[in-house]
């Protein structure tokens, strides 16, 4: 079922590559299937296109961490903290800080 949702998201993106909501949805589905490399790529594209309030940075950091790309994960968490604070989401920023503190 998740594979069919991925296909739908990909088809939608093929007709409108700038649809950030669809790209974020695709990234979430890829994360569910533990397709971290693809998810990270979609999240990076999403973040270039969207004014995210922090959530996507956390998802990107988690995907990068699973891929063993710790330095990039650290950077994503740091960016997420800054964005979350800027958008008035201190709880999210605190959650990212805790995850950042646990990165080895």
pLDDT, position 11:
96
Q: Which residue has the higher pLDDT, 15 or 104?
A: 15
Distance CA 27, CA 32 (A): 9
Whether the predicted pLDDT of 3 surpasses 80: no
Q: Which fold has domain 2-102?
A: 1.25.40
pLDDT in tens, 46-96: 999 999 999 999 999 999 999 999 999 999 999 999 999 999 999 999 999
Which tokens hold the place of 83?
């964005």
The encoded tokens of residue 49 equal: 């296109």
Provide, rounded to the nearest whole percent, the portion of the chain with pLDDT above 70: 98
Q: Cα-atom radius of gyration of the chain, to the nearest Å?
A: 14
Per-residue pLDDT band at 8 (split at 50, 70, 90): very high
CA distance 86 to 29: 27
Q: Is the model's pLDDT at 31 over the cut of 80? A: yes
Q: Which pLDDT score, from 0 to 100, does residue 35 have? A: 97
E strands, 1-104, are none
Between CA 17 and CA 10 the distance in angstroms is 9
Domain ranges of the chain: 2-102
Compute the Cα dihedral for 27, 31, 35, 39 and give only its sign. positive
Place of tokens 């990068």: 64
């Amino acid at each position: 079922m998740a594979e069919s949702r991925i296909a739908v998201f990909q088809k939608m993106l093929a007709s409108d590559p700038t649809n950030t909501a669809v790209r974020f949805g695709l990234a979430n589905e890829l994360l569910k299937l533990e397709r971290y490399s693809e998810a990270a790529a979609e999240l990076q594209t999403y973040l270039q296109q969207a004014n995210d309030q922090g959530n996507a940075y956390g998802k990107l950091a988690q995907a990068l961490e699973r891929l063993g790309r710790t330095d990039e994960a650290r950077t994503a968490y740091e960016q997420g903290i800054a964005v979350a604070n800027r958008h008035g989401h201190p709880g999210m920023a605190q959650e990212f800080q805790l995850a950042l503190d646990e990165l080895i």
